Chains A and B, each alone.
Chain A
Amino acid sequence: MTTEARKPPPQIALKIRRILGGKAGWNGVAVQFAFAAILGWIGYEIVSNARANLENQHIAAGFGFLRNNAGFDVNQTLISYTGSDTFLRVFVVGLLNTLIVSVVGIFFATVIGFIVALCRLSPNWLLSRVGEIYVEVIRNLPLLFQILFWYLAVLAALPNPRQSISVFGIAFISNRGLVVPSPIGQSGLAPFLAVLAFGIVASLALHFYARRALFQRGQVIRIWPSVLALLFALPLATMLVFGLPFTFELPQLRGFNFAGGSRIIPEFVALAVALSTYTAAFIAEIVRAGILSVHKGQMEAGSSLGLSRGATLRLIVVPQAMRVIVPPLTNQYLNLTKNSSLAVAIGYPDLVSVFAGTSLSQTGQAIEIIAMTMGVYLLISLLTSAIMSVYGWRVSRSLGA
């Protein structure tokens, strides 16, 4: 007796009826379609009415402005941008700035959050008190206040560029930000990157092969010598053959500021620090709740197997806790992304600042720009939720739940 035999044949029509119509059957489906049509009609009326009104009042409408020249500059651009680029490019520049600060913020918030949670759970009295104070202080102060604090504290503490703090003469810290040497690609760059990419892929393949061998045949394969060779020896050999992949351009004080090198602006640092420390306080509580939700017996079982506390946490407790942690953690990631729009207070050029702020007032097209900005935040949030859902599903699946 096979399992296929017991499955009913697929009935698409039936399925549609059940999904759309519920208990009402085909009548229900008709009602749903009528409802959708009415909604669509209302939406169309509203949009065309608004368009007509705008036209009557000679307020420019439509998305044609995106092709116009922006005419202003932005102080942190991940892609090349000058004042003579279009508003569409401003949009992309702002979006990338929002994304980079969100990604950096999420990374550090997660790391700090896990560390603080483990501190709070630690049997060490001092560590757990420190964790507790961190959480209580940070999460009870308004975020905007913290952003301004970090910004003004960072600015106040640092000297001007002419008296900047030098780190071994190659990097400089001043109130204009951190300047570091920037790599400049040479002829050896392409083969070097190719070999490095090959090394990473091959190492990953080896890792999976070794894991499979361990789980399926109980065979232990030592892969680290080969990985070392792939990741370091091979690229080094390439460098010897093709020459240096890149040289470094050192920053130099010229006029008011440093010329050359790459710079991390203080606005970015202040925003990223504030967002990650603030969100970390919430993440710490979520992680603590997750770990406490795992039965004490699991910890004891780990100890009785002779595992250290760290190993028990890593191998037994945290994987089970992740099921509880992931959904609220997603919320915090979304909050952090949306909170990054507070950047406008300290002049960090994020999407809200350069697009929904500057571009809006240069063009006056509030409806289009606000709609685009809202759309972007929604899209980022939905994508983050989707990724976290997939991760949550994998975590649950691996536990066989």
Chain B
Amino acid sequence: MKRVTLALTLALAAGLTAQAAEAQTLKTVKDRGMLSCGVSQGLPGFSSPDDKGNWTGIDVDVCRAIAGAIFNDPTKVKFVPLSAKDRFTALQSGEIDVLSRNTTWTISRDTSLGANFTGVTYYDGQGFMVKKSLKVNSALELNSASVCVQTGTTTEQNLADYFKANNMKYEVIAFATNDETVKAYEAGRCDVFTTDQSGLYANRLKLANPNDHMVLPEIISKEPLGPMVRHGDDQWFDIVKWTLFAMLTAEELGVTSKNVDEKAKLENPELKRVLGSDGNFGEQLGLTKDWVVRIVKTVGNYGEVFDRNVGAGSPLAINRGVNNLWNKGGLQYAPPIR
């Protein structure tokens, strides 16, 4: 027993020691020539590989944008698929540089994991999906139902809270991966499948007959999803944080992947600041002056990323809703670049 435990502690301690010494994540990434990015094992719209192994999704584009800002090359990302329960350990142990895996920002995760959330890429909320044949119209009619859920998520805890608060009984069946959960739901092991609402729409596409299933109207939680980085490297924290802000600012200023070069030539003081011909904000971050141009050329602005992956231009066709910009009735708001 002692030997095994010691071996484990040794391995971990060694890993942790090495990692504490190299707080310079940007330098490590540059030396490696590759950004290591933790993503999901397959959630359409957020991070999923296609049949050729190319990753797409909002979370994937965040990593590509960071790689674009650093290397001016969106292909220099290694995507590491992680299950919900492995994701934080992978970040803590230094296996990945950034965790961009539809992870809900909560206080306990922000304070006890040795990691920080850098922002919100997608404002989500938990919902329920049921078979239409059950003739259920509200989550409040789910008393005594069996519910399939992915283990190690905030979803699992919200579920317990919701049924308890509404005095309803239920049976929970928790699986390690998203695909196992969906498979069990489809096999009839449970009446209800629950996850973030965006995930419900995404997973519905995977079912044999998507139209036999419906998403119930209730949203039972706040699920702000965002990227995470390790504690102790403020420069890296700033880079990941401002990459998202750059995408939002670009959308706000009407800068897209198509018109970014023209916009850079305009004599507009704000555009000049943001696109790097005035000031040296990029260099202060440890990047180049044209960092925003690089990001927008790589993945486009936030609106383009949203539309392409989960919005009108994707099979998910999710409404912008609260994910619209602040001046269009949504919650997405970037501090000024100046």
**Judging by beta carbons under 8 Å apart, are B232 and A57 in contact?**
yes
Q: Knowing A57-B231, A358-B152 touch, does A256 contact B20 (C-beta < 8 A)?
A: no
Pairwise interchain contact A256-B184, C-beta atoms closer than 8 A = no
Closest to A56 in B: B20
Which of B154-162, B262-270, B327-335 interfaces with chain A?
B154-162
A287 to chain B, nearest CB (A): 31
How far apart are B298's CB and chain A's nearest CB, in angstroms?
Answer: 31
Is A200 part of the binding interface, using a Cβ–Cβ cutoff of 8 Å? Answer: no
**Taking the complex as formed, is B138 at the interface, i.e. its CB lies under 8 A from any CB of chain A?**
no
Interchain CB contact under 8 A, A49 and B151:
no
Within 8 A of B (CB), among A40-95: 43, 46-47, 49-50, 53-54, 56-60, 71-75, 82-84
Q: Which residues of A contact B151 (CB under 8 A)?
A: 347, 353-354, 357-358, 361
**CB contact between B152 and one of A71, A73, A83, A357 (< 8 Å): that residue:** A357
Instruction: Tell whether, in the assembled complex, residue B114 and residue A57 are in contact, meaning their CB atoms are under 8 Å apart.
Output: yes
The distance in angstroms between the C-alpha atoms of A43 and B16, with both chains bound, is 16
Q: Does B212 contact A (CB under 8 A)?
A: no
Q: How many residues of B contact A (CB 8 A)?
A: 60
Q: Which of A121-129, A299-307, A371-379, A391-399 forms part of the interface with chain B?
A: A371-379
As a 0/1 sequence over residues 296 to 320 of chain A, the CB contacts with chain B under 8 angstroms (1 = contact) are 0000000000000000000000000
Q: Which 4 A-B pairs rank lowest in CB-CB distance, beginning with the nearest?
A: A361-B152, A59-B114, A83-B160, A255-B144
Let me know if A347 and B175 touch, CB within 8 A. Answer: yes
Task: Report Cα–Cα, A73/B163, bound state, in Å.
Answer: 11
B173–A366 touching, CB < 8 Å = no
A residues with a Cβ closer than 8 A to B are 43, 46-47, 49-50, 53-54, 56-60, 71-75, 82-84, 152, 155-156, 160, 175-176, 254-257, 259, 266-267, 344-347, 349, 353-354, 357-358, 360-364, 366-367, 370-371, 374-375, 378-379, 382
* Segment 28-75 of B: residues with Cβ below 8 Å from A: none
CB proximity of A153 to chain B, nearest CB, Å: 10
Query: CB within 8 A of B174: which of A46, A56, A175, A347?
Result: A347
CB-based contact B17/A49 at 8 Å: yes
Q: B143 to A255, Cβ gap below 8 A?
A: yes
Residues of A with C-beta under 8 A to B176:
344-345, 353, 357
B273 at interface, CB cutoff 8 A: no
Residues from chain B with a CB closer than 8 A to the CB of A56 are 20, 232
For residue B104, give the distance in angstroms from its CB to the closest CB of chain A.
12
Contact A75 B173 (CB under 8 A): yes
Q: How far is the CA of A380 from the CA of B193 in the complex (A)?
A: 35
Cβ of B287 under 8 Å from chain A: no
A267: contacting residue among B13, B17, B143, B173, CB under 8 A: B173
Say how far B150's CB is from chain A's closest CB, in angstroms.
Answer: 10
How many Å lie between the Cα of A354 and that of B161 in the bound state? Answer: 18
Contact of A256 among B114, B146, B175, B231 (CB under 8 A): B146
Contact residues, B116-162 vs A (CB, 8 A): 134, 142-146, 148, 151-153, 156-157, 159-161
Which residue of chain B has its CB nearest to the CB of A361? B152
A175–B87 contact, CB under 8 A? no
A57 x B10 contact (CB < 8 A): no
Cβ–Cβ contact A46 & B10, under 8 A: yes
B184 adjacent to A347 (CB under 8 Å): yes
Nearest chain B CB to A30 CB, angstrom units: 22
For residue B319, CB closer than 8 A to chain A, the reply is no
* Structural contact, A371 and B145, CB atoms closer than 8 A: no
Sample of 19 A–B contacts (CB below 8 Å): A49-B13, A53-B13, A71-B160, A72-B156, A152-B187, A155-B187, A256-B143, A256-B191, A259-B169, A347-B175, A347-B189, A353-B151, A353-B176, A361-B84, A363-B112, A364-B88, A366-B12, A366-B92, A374-B5
What's the least CB distance linking B128 to chain A, in Å? 13
Q: B residues 211-245 with Cβ under 8 Å of A?
A: 230-232
A54 to B189, CA, bound (A): 41
Contacts of B148 in A (CB 8 A): 347
B313 to chain A, nearest CB (A): 33
Q: Could you tell me if B112 and A364 are in contact, using CB atoms closer than 8 angstroms?
A: yes
Contact A71 B157 (CB under 8 A): yes
